[in-house]
Amino acid sequence: MSWLSKRARPAADGTTAGSRAAAVAAFAEIAPASGRDAIVSALAQAIEAAQRARLAGEPDAALILAAAHLAAAAAGHTESIPAEMEIRSIGHAAAALAGASSSAGEPGAIEEIVRARFAIARGRVRGSIYVPRDVEYAFSGDVRALEPMALDPARAPQLRKLLAAGVEAALAKRPGGWTDADREFFGRFEAAARLP
């Protein structure tokens, strides 16, 4: 059985993991997080909640997943050379966006916000000598190599390791945490995602 066909499983509290509401709520925990462990935990939980929502076929789940990966890219961003976590997270966002569309069938507020943030993030690293070939391929639409880590909740331990190393390195260079642009993205996305 392919990992793409797995369904949402019950969460520890007895509710069904994989709902859109759970993914949006998990995303909302990213902005207030500060310090390495809190940021890594918030990012990992938001990504996994969105992955489960996507597997359950929830509306806008792929867009929520892309937003969570873009938040991870922001957490790994420094003002200098692009870091591995930032680059990989932007590639993971590309994999989540492949085939994603708004639940309304035409681009809605969520899709516009996520795609605009993706364009900025991709533009910051595209063409850099530090961008691995599989990420450059993802930027061109070939996301096969990045799909497992980007889309499969079973890869959470590997993803958490990548996040932990990237956040620690970024906080060492940028101890303030989130930028104003990051907070603006979080706020706009959360407001749009909470609309029916």
What's the pLDDT at 17? Answer: 58
Q: Could you read off the pLDDT of 162-186 as tens digits, one per residue? A: 999 999 999 998 887 788 999 999 9
> Residue 48 above 50 pLDDT?
yes
Q: What is the pLDDT of residue 94?
A: 96
- pLDDT in the model for residue 196: 66
Region 15-44: what's the mean pLDDT? 89
CB 128 within 8 A of CB 94: no
Report domain extents, the chain. Answer: 17-193
Check residue 195 and give its pLDDT.
Answer: 80
Residue 106, helix vs strand vs coil:
coil
pTM of the predicted model as reported, rounded to 2 decimal places: 0.88
Residues 6 or more apart from 50 whose CB is under 8 A from it? 23, 26, 27, 61, 64, 65, 67, 68, 96
Looking at per-residue pLDDT, the higher value among 90 and 14 belongs to 90
